[in-house]
């Protein structure tokens, strides 16, 4: 049974419709990430679930309860905000306790829950401090603690890590994931950060323009993007997306590029029979290329292209090869990239079974 379902949700602000007949459901214990660029409607969707906004049409279910018209307090949810939303005049203990203010728990139970949450989040030494005496990371822990003490079955997160620096973000990511693994609440988590989505989610809903572009596991979203938007949005450096034309000859399917290069798609699982002459977009992930000093047996494509630029980040490197007027990005070994000189030819092979193919007309995966 789904734990949270959005059914035919419409949300308009005045004359502008942001969400139009959106359907989505998430199972008990899932960690759902709503992922998409700024303005795609993910916060609106979260706020509808939280009851901070009213739907224009449609129904929201939590378990078997229709919560569409319920007050936020009566929905059985806990929420962690980007801004932390802590009370500055209350201590950490007071802030945690305030999360339970509306409950009818006895003092001993309140005490017990605060102790457990403080221990899990390692904020026991901070219980007597006020938010102004805490770092950003500590405040975020308190905000999470306030959600935990409620022991709600559904916890909502609205970009909770976006005010933290990169190192703290990584730490908190691991902690939130660990908490989810331990306590197994159903989580709905909004972010525009694909790393957060890929590392924490059990399910991702990729949104653009108020529409769910794809709903699936991180592996499905990464490995089999449903359309060009998802293909281009997930992955850094981004997937190389290049126009090509198909040639079908018996079981052999080739996609030819304007450059004269081609890729053999014979092993690609087309959803329907490909046709010669079809215009497609071929997606090649930078990390799948192999620089041909270790040639692979029977590659799907082999390119010899001039190096335009190489970028090294320490642990990683990306080489940009001239591909007609455009560039192909390849992830390469940083030691090898150190020896690269602009203009030198680089032979790169692309393994079988790794390409993605989309219709140039509709943008949908073929
Ligand atoms: P971000 O990551 O920037 O928060 P988002 O994906 O969460 O973006 P939303 O905040 O859900 O996007 O906004 C979706 C669209 O709805 C945007 O175009 C936004 O301008 C519009 N919008 C949101 N709230 C209102 C409002 N109260 N009145 C009018 N338009 C709104």
Q: Give CA–CA dist 199/217, Å, rounded.
A: 11
Domain ranges of the chain: 2-222, 240-359
At 82 the pLDDT is 82
Q: Give CA–CA dist 148/122, Å, rounded.
A: 13
At 1 the pLDDT is 57
At 119 the pLDDT is 86
The C-alpha angle 192, 197, 201, rounded to 5 degrees, equals 145
pLDDT at residue 359 above 60? yes
At 128 the pLDDT is 92
Q: What is the architecture of the domain spanning 240-359?
A: Beta Barrel (2.40)
Residue having the nearest C-alpha atom to atom 25 of ligand 1: 13
Cβ 192 under 6 angstroms from ligand 1:
yes
pLDDT at residue 101 above 80? no
Give strand pairing partners of 154.
Answer: 77, 186
Which CATH fold would you assign to the domain 2-222?
Rossmann fold (3.40.50)
- Given the CA of residue 210, which atom of ligand 1 is nearest to it? 14
Cβ 39 under 6 angstroms from ligand 1:
yes
Q: Which of 334, 306, 77, 82 is nearest to 190 (CA)?
A: 82
Mutate to test the pocket of ligand 1, among 11, 20, 44 (most ligand atoms within 8 A of CB): 44
Query: What is the pTM (predicted TM-score) of this model?
Result: 0.91
Residue having the nearest C-alpha atom to atom 9 of ligand 1: 41
Query: pLDDT band for position 81 (50/70/90)?
Result: confident
Domain pair 2-222 / 240-359, same fold = no
Per-residue pLDDT tens for 8-44? Answer: 999 999 999 999 999 999 999 999 999 999 999 999 9
Residue pair 100/110 in contact by the 8 Å Cβ criterion: yes
Mutate to test the pocket of ligand 1, among 39, 54, 56, 209 (most ligand atoms within 8 A of CB): 39
Highest mean pLDDT among 75-89, 91-105, 321-335: 321-335
At 154 the pLDDT is 93
Mean pLDDT of the chain: 92
Per-residue pLDDT tens for 170-204? Answer: 988 998 998 899 889 999 999 999 999 999 999 99
Q: Give CA–CA dist 187/80, Å, rounded.
A: 11
In this structure, the dihedral spanned by the alpha carbons of residues 169, 175, 177 and 180, taken in order and rounded to 10 degrees, is -140
At 205 the pLDDT is 98
Q: Give CA–CA dist 321/327, Å, rounded.
A: 5
How far is C-alpha 105 from the geometric centre of its chain's CA atoms?
A: 37
In this structure, the dihedral spanned by the alpha carbons of residues 167, 173, 179 and 184, taken in order and rounded to 10 degrees, is 180
At 48 the pLDDT is 97
Those residues whose C-beta lies under 8 Å from the C-beta of residue 101, and which sit 6 or more positions away, are none
At 337 the pLDDT is 86
Residue having the nearest C-alpha atom to atom 1 of ligand 1: 38
pLDDT at residue 83 above 60? yes
DSSP string, 89-118: TS-HHHHHHHTTTTS---HHHHHHHHHHHH
Q: What is the 3-state secondary structure (H, E, C) of 111-170?
A: HHHHHHHHHHCCCHHHCCCCHHHCCHHHHHHHHHHHHHCCCCCEEEEECCCCCCCHHHHH
Per-residue pLDDT tens for 209-245? Answer: 999 999 999 999 999 999 999 999 999 899 999 999 9
Those residues whose C-beta lies under 8 Å from the C-beta of residue 41, and which sit 6 or more positions away, are 11, 18, 19, 207, 209, 210
User: Sheet holding 252-256: strands in order across?
Assistant: 262-264, 252-256, 240-249, 279-284, 356-359
Mutate to test the pocket of ligand 1, among 16, 36, 43 (most ligand atoms within 8 A of CB): 43
Percent over 70 (pLDDT), the chain: 99
pLDDT at residue 329 above 90? yes
Per-residue pLDDT tens for 45-58? Answer: 999 999 999 999 99
Per-residue pLDDT tens for 103-137? Answer: 788 888 888 999 988 888 888 899 999 999 998 88
Locate 52 and state its tokens. 């901070």
Cβ 11 under 6 angstroms from ligand 1:
no
pLDDT at residue 362 above 60? yes
Mode of pairing for the β-strands spanning 326-332 and 16-27: unpaired
Surface-to-core class of residue 20, CB atoms within 10 Å of its CB (0-12 exposed, 13-18 middle, 19+ buried): middle
Give strand pairing partners of 328.
Answer: 321
Could you report the predicted ipTM of this complex, rounded to two decimals? 0.95
At 2 the pLDDT is 64
pLDDT at residue 87 above 80? yes
């Amino acid at each position: 049974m789904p734990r949270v379902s959005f059914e035919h949700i419409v949300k308009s602000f005045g004359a502008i419709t942001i969400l139009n007949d959106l359907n989505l459901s998430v199972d008990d214990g899932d960690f759902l990430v709503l992922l998409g660029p700024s303005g795609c409607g993910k916060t609106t969707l979260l706020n509808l679930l939280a009851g901070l906004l009213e739907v224009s049409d449609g129904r929201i279910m939590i378990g078997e309860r229709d919560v569409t018209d319920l007050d936020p307090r009566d929905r059985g949810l806990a929420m962690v905000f980007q801004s932390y939303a802590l009370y500055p005049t209350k201590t950490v203990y007071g802030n945690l306790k305030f999360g339970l203010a509306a409950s009818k728990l006895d003092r001993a139970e309140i005490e017990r829950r605060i102790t457990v949450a403080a221990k899990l989040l390692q904020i026991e030494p901070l219980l007597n401090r006020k938010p102004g005496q805490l770092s950003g990371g500590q405040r975020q822990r308190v905000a999470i603690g306030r959600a935990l003490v409620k022991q709600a079955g559904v916890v909502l997160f609205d970009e909770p890590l976006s005010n933290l620096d990169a190192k703290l973000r990584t730490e908190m990511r691991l902690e939130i994931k660990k908490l989810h693994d331990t306590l197994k609440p159903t989580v709905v988590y909004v972010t525009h950060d694909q790393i957060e989505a890929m590392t924490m989610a059990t399910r991702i809903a990729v949104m653009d323009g108020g529409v769910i572009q794809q709903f699936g596991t991180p592996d499905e979203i990464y490995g089999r993007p449903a359309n060009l938007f998802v293909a281009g949005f997930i992955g850094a450096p981004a997937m190389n997306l290049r126009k090509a034309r198909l040639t079908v000859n018996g079981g052999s399917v080739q996609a030819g590029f304007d450059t004269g290069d081609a890729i053999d798609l014979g092993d690609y699982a087309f959803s329907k029979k490909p046709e010669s002459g079809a215009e497609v977009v071929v997606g090649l992930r930078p990390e799948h290329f192999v620089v041909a000093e270790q040639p692979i047996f029977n590659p799907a494509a082999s390119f010899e292209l001039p190096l335009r630029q190489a970028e090294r980040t320490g642990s990683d490197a990306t080489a940009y090869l001239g591909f007609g007027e455009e560039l192909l990005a390849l992830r390469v070994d940083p030691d090898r990239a150190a020896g690269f000189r602009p203009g030198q030819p680089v032979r790169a092979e692309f393994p079988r079974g790794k390409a993605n193919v989309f219709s140039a007309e509709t943008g949908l995966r073929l």
